[in-house]
Structure 1
């Protein structure tokens, strides 16, 4: 029961494709990559802030910034996007 064999990974991949569909997989992979990039940036910023507060002289590396179009604030991510509904016409 130690590790997964190639057959296990193949079954997991087939189930994943059946569940999400082949058309949505590139978008899912892109979203996962963006999320991991944001997470990595935040972790490095927290480490730099921790080093600054403790007084240690850490080498300053510029944090990798996403283009403004890709940055999402927490308010926008938490709020569902609703399309305005047209008012019904009354006679």
Structure 2
């Protein structure tokens, strides 16, 4: 009762195909693949050069600031009392 055999998985696959139909399963697969592709593209650094993006490296912080990008930094006030 530990793991299922290939026959169990085939029966489950046939039941799922009968319930949803092959066209709907194909559409779900295409949607899932598109979502994964979109996620991977969204994770890429938009300012990295093509060579850097392929190597998986990011631009240095000084380069990002020098390219007139907005840097979101949370500034804290110094208290005048010690």
Give the alignment's TM-score, normalised by structure 1. Answer: 0.39
Q: Radius of gyration: which is bigger?
A: 2
Higher-helix-fraction structure: 2
Structure with higher RCO (Cα < 8 A, 6+ apart) = 1
Give the alignment's TM-score, normalised by structure 2. Answer: 0.43
